[in-house]
Structures are given as C-alpha cells and as structure tokens.
Copies of this chain bind each other. A is one copy, B any other.
Amino acid sequence: MGKTLKLGLFGFGCVGQGLYHVLHETRGIKAEIKKICVKHPEKKRALPDSFFTYDKDIILHDPEIDVVVELIDDADAAFQIVKAALQNGKHVVTANKKMLAENLEEIYHLQQQYNRSVLYEGAVCGSIPIIRNLEEYYDNDLITEVSGIFNGSTNYILTKLFDEKKNYACALAEAQQLGFAESDPSLDVQGFDPKFKLAIVLAHAFGVFVKPDDIVNFGIDRISASDLAYAQQHNLTIKLVARAFKTGNTIHGLVAPQFVEARSPLRHIYNEYNAVQVRGAFSEKQLFVGKGAGGYPTGSAVLSDISALRYGYRYEYRKLQQHTGTVYSNDITVQARVRFPADQVIPLHHFLELQSGYAGARDQYLIGRVHIDTLKAWSTDTATGLILAPEPDFAPARSIAKPDGLLVA
C-alpha cells in the first residue's frame, strides 16, 4: 500500500488537535504529521516543540511533505498557503469554507494547472460526506435541490431556544463555550458560515461557481419572543436552512431561518448536528445527518480526505463538465412571515402576494410573498425580522399582485 504520507499542518486549534488524535488512534491509514506551522510561539502546546514551526516556508519548501493540511482561521492567509502548496507540488486538504467559497473557481483551475488535488470534505457540514457523495454518487442523477441545516452552532442555539426554553444570549454563550461557534459568532448567527458552505455545494451539485456575495443570507439573530410564541402556537419550530435548488435551467441559493413542521425530518435534528437533504429525480429524497461542529467530527472528515489522497482521489467536478447553460440567479420569490416595528409604515409594495397580517402593541406582521432582493435589503435592516414559511414555495418573480382589501387584525 505504498509509503507513509507526510503531512504539514497549518494551524493547531480544535480541528488540528482532533485530527492529531484521530490519526493516532486509527491503524488503517499510513500518514504522519511531520511539522505544524502555528502563529503564536508563546502558547503552550500539547506536543513537543520539535513538531512546531513559525515559518510557513519550512513546510512549503520541504520536499518530503506530500500534503499540506490547512486549518487556520484567516481566509486570505489560507488562500496564499493553498496556492503556494500547489505551486510546490503538494496536495492540499482544507476545512476553510470561507477561503474555499471566495476562491473556488481559481482553486479549481489551480488544481488543473499544477495537477494536484485540493480536498475539503471537512469544510462542509463536518462529518457528513456530502461533497464526496455529490461528486461520486449523484453524477448521473438529476438533482433538483440540496438543502438543510449547514451550521452546527446556530442549530445548537435554536435547539436550546425551542427545546430547552433558554434565551438567545445564554444559548450563544453555551455554543461558544463548547467550541461550536466560529471565533466571530456573527459568521454563524447571521448565516455567513452556512452560505460559504452553500457556495461549495452549488459547484458540486449544479456545476456553478457563485461568489458568496451573490448568495443572500438572513440570520437568526433577530428571532423575537413573539416569533417563538407564534411557532409554538402553530406547532412549528425554526431552523436556519441553507438551500440550493433549480427551477428550469436556473439555479438559486438562499440561507434564511425557516418554520419547520413537526413531521419534517429537519425538526428532529438537534444541537450541533447538521442535516443535508438531496432531492433527485430518481433517488428522490436522501437525507444525511451527522455532527457538523467540533474537532473530532471535522478531524475525522479531514483524515478521510488525507486517506483518499493515498488512492489518488481528486474531485472531478463532473457537473461543470456536463454543464449545459445553467445559470445562477436571484430572480425568485418566496413566502415568508415578516416582522416590522409597530410604528413603521409597512412597505406593502414589497409584497407580491399577501396572505395575512397582524398588528400588535410592539410589532406588526405580514405573511406573504417577497422577492429575494427584498429579503436581502431587509437582512441589513435590523428592525425587520423574517422567517420563511414551512413550505416556502419558491416561484419565479412575476408582476406585483395588488395587496388590496387586506389587513389589519
């Protein structure tokens, strides 16, 4: 089975340490960490000093090192490391979703140019092997949708809110303490982290490269007590749902909180677990569930990528090659429940269809159909809250319906 792979690590945080332990407790894989590049010489480390370096070139220019494992926080620095590693003839394994999402098209071309492989299963939904499955298994299927819970820390927070009746601040603090949250929690709670993952999924599911800026994300940080009460009254819960889907020849993407019914498989995904649903024309609904956060699950995914490199594995990006004029677009509408402050004049012209409305002492609510561009505008307006309908019923944009004779309770 050939020689032992020599690894050069960048970063030795939660995932790096998880990888180290997983590697040392399995016997199936011949790989060993030769060097670890870290930033802070002053930090106390769990391994002997000889493992560590503070100079990235020690790893990048070591001809013995076959694989660079990139596990640092900073996306720009990470991309420079990935580029340099490929240029120096090394394969790369990375779990950096932001770096990947922002540079995926270039990384695709760099792999071709230098004939080296970049694998990143650990970047998307922790231990769930979704990229590998999209690559390997769904290449002959007509995929219509890939959606689900792509972020462990927000799902942890939502579980605490709904199933344990804790408040938001307390739940967030717990998630951070357990190491589930990103170092900057706004990446999680505002839906950026699942958006980065969604950009990666879009390439492997539908063969389109989409910049994260072109995908709309709405966070969970504005869920109010009355949203919780509404959900409870209607036997619903709220999940942060990332979704890539197809209408005709057009691909769409969106990250937003959504009401979820009791019978939905997403209802029963608790704590730091993630879930990915794949809808295909023939295999119909597939669901993958696994831990989406934490050093061990992600370390295990990273190690699987390292193991795959021993067999010469590389992503084929087959959907790109089967590409037949599909385009990415945000020209789509969706049903949602929108919350405005009581004293605000409701921008009715943004509603393409109105279903119902309610005005309370502090807030007013409208349930209706809105354009994704409107949703994007509201996402930066902290006064406005929004949660998608249980079956959000996406539909291409059309002329604005007249919202006459409606409201107000």
Contact = CB atoms under 8 A, between A and B. Distances in A.
Contacts of A283: 127, 290-291, 296-297, 300-301
Copies in the complex: 2
Given A133-B129, A265-B268, A300-B280, A26 B286 contact: no
Interface stretch (A52-60, A135-143, A224-232, A328-336): A135-143
Interface residues of A, number: 50
A83 interface: no
B286 A28 contact: no
B282 A18 contact: yes
Contacts of A267: 268
Contact of A22 (B25, B265, B282, B285): B282
Interface stretch (A66-74, A172-180, A302-310): A302-310
A288 B286 contact: yes
Given A18-B282, A28-B318, A289 B287 contact: yes
| Smallest CB-CB A-B distances: 7 pairs | A287-B289, A282-B300, A127-B283, A286-B290, A283-B300, A29-B140, A129-B137
B140 A281 contact: no
Interface string A1-35: 10000000000000000100010011111000000
A263 B271 CA distance: 13
A299 interface: yes
Given A127-B286, A290-B286, A308 B265 contact: no
Contacts of A26: 140-142
A178 to B, nearest CB: 14
A284 interface: yes
Given A29-B140, A140-B28, A318-B28, A296 B284 contact: yes
Given A268-B268, A287-B289, A289-B289, 7 more contacts: A18-B282, A140-B304, A267-B268, A282-B299, A283-B297, A283-B300, A284-B297
A140 B289 contact: no
Contacts of A141: 22, 26, 300, 303-304
A152 to B, nearest CB: 12
Contacts of A282: 18, 22, 25, 127, 296-297, 299-300, 303
Contacts of A1: 321
A128 interface: yes
A288 B132 CA distance: 14
